[in-house]
A and B are shown apart, each in its own frame.
Chain A
Amino acid sequence: MGHPNVGKSVFFNRLTGANVTESNYPGTTVDYTKGWMKIEGEDVELVDVPGTFSLDPKDKAEDVAVAMLHETRDVKVISVIDASKIERGLYLALEIIEEGYPVVIALNMWDVAWDKNIRIDARKLEQILGVPVVPTTAISGEGIKELVSRLKDIQPVEVDDIIANAGGLT
């Protein structure tokens, strides 16, 4: 899951060897695609969904993504965030975490953020959120291995813990 145009389809193609369209405009993917990948010898199903700005869909493409999430409760979510627009990315990631899904965060477009002189302390972010946070650059493949290796041990987390880790809401 993630916003439109953050690189979800690039990830999907890399992980499953599939061939879904990747383009530089929001709304490239309008339907879901299922694929298979291997994690430590085990076949795991992966779904590429359209991008969505929130869990409150505004169009039919977003609806596909949100419905997919809500219909399959026992899923793990790779939350893809555009690292150069991290705040709004976290907004959606938090929404997903709050609904109780186990999440791993991919801080994608790491290269773009770097060029824009945005520095993110992924380690610290991981400590606060309590979920794995992996910097990635999907188009070059950087960070993808690490992302996959951390997929297996993700757990749902409580927002209260996140709030506590961040030092309260005030």
Chain B
Amino acid sequence: MTLSLEERWTLIDKISRETVTFGKYEHTLKDAIGELTVKPLTGIPVAIAIMYGFWSAFGSFAGTLMTDGFFVKLFDGYWLPWLQGAFPGQGSWLYSIMVDAGGLGGSEFVLSDTCFEAFGVLTSGIFVAIGVVLPAISIFYLMLALLEDVGYMPRLAVLLDTVLHRVGLHGYAIVPTILSLGCNVPGVAATRILETKKQRFIMMTLLAIFIPCGAQIGIMDKVVPALMGWILLYLIIGYFIFGYILNKVVPGKAPEFLIDVPPYRKPLMRNITKKIWGRITGFFKVALPFVMLGCAIVNVLYLLGVIQWLGDVLAPIFVGWFGVPKETAGPLVAAFLRKDLAVAQLSVINMTDYQRITAVVLVTIYFPCVATFAMMLKEGWKELIAAIGVLIIVVFTYGGLIHLIGIILGVAE
């Protein structure tokens, strides 16, 4: 037998009267902070402060302290020269793939000075993965775990609800978005907390296109620190422009927001370490092999001349439409496997700052990496195909638009 809603509540009322006594509830400091962080007047400044703190901790720990202060010295100073000498057969295929291609595309063999230029599996591959990406994601996940366990996410959702409504989503879409900043895969999975198909589709498409993952942000911050602001600005603007358009175009409903805001809790050390540990082991198991594989594949394609050929074929689009050098074709191939690798590769191609901004944005918005791809497929192949359709349109229009803006600003031609 089932009860009606009213009957069930009546029953609960009765039971509760017999078994529960509500003592006097005293407002605690936690509640006070809780209220302050959702009230717009106080909450928005707090949110900005938290995000800023997040960002600067990320930059200073990952970029400055670990990568520049330690790993660059280690890899460029010791590992690379040692390997260049110790690995047999300089100039051979294997040597080029594993250690040092000696100036990509150039006719003379010159030993590289840095692990960015060498582009061997054992040099750049390992350096990018361990020296740059690992510190970046470690600190990212530490801070993410803190935000999650303290209980801040739902409050951020409340504050951002209004803005996200403009793109057919609601405040809670911030959860998949933030998770995606770590890795797009759990981000795509988290779209399930959104109510309608429309919302999930918009969210998934925006994530796959505009949200760079932690690994990628880490390396961007390393190779193009001065241009980060521009790149992120372009991505955020894109997120909203195309979100707005999708909201208008995609049929379906965008229901209102209805969520539970949990109380703040003191994060458990045990849980935080467990999460980070899980991420780091996952990184070694999944990301590291992919970075190395990606590196190897790109090198082989270079040696076979495929990338040069692709560059020539695509040159009109690259140079004419996007305004970036045709060598960018190589990184775009790598981007399908690992975006961090692609950004690392871009850093050694000779181009102007504005071209670099465009190229990095393109690497981000163009195809999601294989892992994300697989996850999207799991959520439905129809959506995946539609998302790819949107993606292609976005890459061309937005890429062209960025080029156009550059021309107008007089920094591109």
Q: Which residues of A line the B interface, CB within 8 A?
A: 3-5, 19, 21-28, 30-31, 50, 58-61, 64, 86-87, 90-91, 94-95, 98-99, 112, 116-122, 124-125, 128-129, 139, 158-160, 162-163, 166-167, 169-170
Contacts and interface: CB of A to CB of B under 8 A. Distances in A.
A120 B194 CA distance: 34
Given A25-B151, A118-B23, A31 B274 contact: no
B156 to A, nearest CB: 10
B172 interface: yes
Given A60-B191, A87-B20, 15 more contacts: A3-B260, A23-B153, A24-B149, A24-B150, A24-B264, A25-B262, A27-B175, A27-B193, A91-B8, A98-B3, A99-B2, A116-B25, A118-B23, A125-B19, A159-B2
Given A5-B262, A27-B172, A166-B14, A59 B193 contact: yes
A121 B12 contact: no
Pick the most buried of A25, A86, A90, A122: most chain B CB atoms within 10 A of its CB.
A25
B1 A158 contact: yes
A32 B19 CA distance: 33
Given A90-B16, A166-B18, A19 B11 contact: no
Contacts of B175: 25, 27
A77 B153 CA distance: 29
Nearest to A24: B151
Contact of A30 (B11, B25, B189): B189
Contacts of B195: 58-59
Pick the most buried of B19, B154, B260, B268: most chain A CB atoms within 10 A of its CB.
B19
B192 A59 contact: yes
A117 B260 contact: no
B: interface residue count bin: 35 or more
A78 B194 CA distance: 26
Interface in B254-283: 258-260, 262-265, 267-268, 271, 274-275, 278
Contacts of A87: 12-13, 16, 20
Nearest to B378: A31
A159 B3 contact: yes
Interface of B: 1-3, 7-16, 18-26, 145, 148-151, 153-154, 172, 175, 189-195, 200, 258-260, 262-265, 267-268, 271, 274-275, 278
A26 B11 CA distance: 27
Nearest to B154: A25
B10 A124 contact: no
B192 A60 contact: yes
Contacts of A21: 275
Given A26-B260, A98-B2, A117 B11 contact: no
A160 B2 CA distance: 10
